[in-house]
Amino acid sequence: MNKDMLRQWADELGLDLIGVAPISRYENVAPQWNPLSILPTAKSVIAFAREIPRGQFLGIEEGTFWISIARQTHPWYTYDLCRRFEDQGILAVPCSPLAPQRWPDGVVFDNAKVAPNVTPSLEYAATSAGLGEVGYNGLFLTPEFGVRQQLGMLFTEYELPPDEPFAGGLCDRERCAACAHECPLGAMGAGKTVDYGAGEILIADIDYKKCHYCKNGAFPDTSYHLAPPNRIAAACARACIACLERKGLTRSASRYKKPFRTREPWGVGIYE
């Protein structure tokens, strides 16, 4: 088992990005968010991503067709990768995280050290594995697609050569904040620092109570009714798509003959 084999599997499954984080990058992560609470013998965390077609965002961008866009890859991809690991005699655990707001979700059994359901962060795994960074809008960005990808993860007891954590710099969070400026509800306040596996970064302090009323492409989270909504197609995310493409910061943008945004963005306020 080696990294070339892992990349070959990703190509065969139609995954666009894949990376490896060593379990040592989780040494300061609390048990309720830590893969070691699920697989104590874990050595590597595998994060991967699949591109979301740009066209899926255009109906909402034009205000003509609403479609909920999943933020996670279909469980089939994780299942298939785990099967391939175990065909090599290597234990691997698939992980499709629930909304962290529902933790703890269950009863502590006997002398367990942590309550169910343990929910490792996809964004932490993907940053630690070198795929990208969390932007000022709180959404995961990659140099290839910006916000346009679904994420997945698994962990394994096999120790693969790790990738470097993403160095940052894709989101110009100190000067840009196009996502905050184009939020019709004004839901993004002053920034706060958060560590997603590559050191502390600045992200907006988001008023998710306003996001729950957003009619600009946000959808309810399907894993927990009190969780923040899925904003991957909301005004803040589409502002990020347009901004990164305009600046030439996403590699996939060179494919397209026309810009993502061709007119001033629309927006519906909280009382409209």
> Which pLDDT value is given to residue 20?
98
Q: What is the pLDDT of residues 77-87, one digit of tens each?
A: 999 999 999 99
Give the pairing of strands 44-51 and 149-156: antiparallel
Which of 96, 122, 118, 170 shows the shortest CA–CA distance to 19?
Answer: 122
> Which pLDDT value is given to residue 222?
86
Q: What is the rounded CA–CA span in Å between residue 220 and residue 226?
A: 9
> Which pLDDT value is given to residue 170?
92
Q: What is the rounded CA–CA span in Å between residue 142 and residue 254?
A: 15
Q: Is 124 within 8 Å of 192 (Cβ atoms)?
A: no
SS3 158: coil
Q: What is the rounded CA–CA span in Å between residue 210 and residue 204?
A: 14
If you count them, how many residues does the chain have? 272
Which of 59-73, 99-113, 230-244 has the weakest average pLDDT?
99-113
Residue at 263 is within a domain: no
Quote the tokens at residue 142: 């990659």
User: Which structural domain range is residue 20 located in?
Assistant: 3-255
Residue at 268 is within a domain: no
Overall number of domains in the chain: 1
pLDDT of 107 strictly over 90: no
Residue partners of 261: CB distance under 8 A and separation at least 6 = 61, 238, 241, 242, 246
Residue at 271 is within a domain: no
pLDDT of 270 strictly over 80: no
Residue at 207 is within a domain: yes
Q: How confident is the model at residue 69 (pLDDT cuts 50, 70, 90)?
A: very high
Q: What is the rounded CA–CA span in Å between residue 160 and residue 108?
A: 33
How buried is 4 (Cβ within 10 angstroms: 0-12 exposed, 13-18 middle, 19+ buried)?
A: exposed
pLDDT of 71 strictly over 70: yes
Residue at 73 is within a domain: yes
Question: What's the whole-number mean pLDDT along residues 150-167?
Answer: 96
The whole-model pTM stands at 0.94
Q: How confident is the model at residue 243 (pLDDT cuts 50, 70, 90)?
A: very high
Average pLDDT score, the chain: 93
Computed over its alpha carbons, how large is the radius of gyration of the chain?
19
- Residue percentage of the chain with pLDDT more than 70: 100
Q: What is the rounded CA–CA span in Å between residue 154 and residue 93?
A: 6
pLDDT of 272 strictly over 70: no
Q: How confident is the model at residue 103 (pLDDT cuts 50, 70, 90)?
A: confident
Residue at 265 is within a domain: no
Asked whether the bond before 216 is cis by omega within 30 degrees of 0, the reply is: no
Question: What's the whole-number mean pLDDT along residues 234-250?
Answer: 94
Residue at 162 is within a domain: yes
Residue at 261 is within a domain: no
pLDDT of 210 strictly over 70: yes
Q: Is 249 within 8 Å of 143 (Cβ atoms)?
A: yes
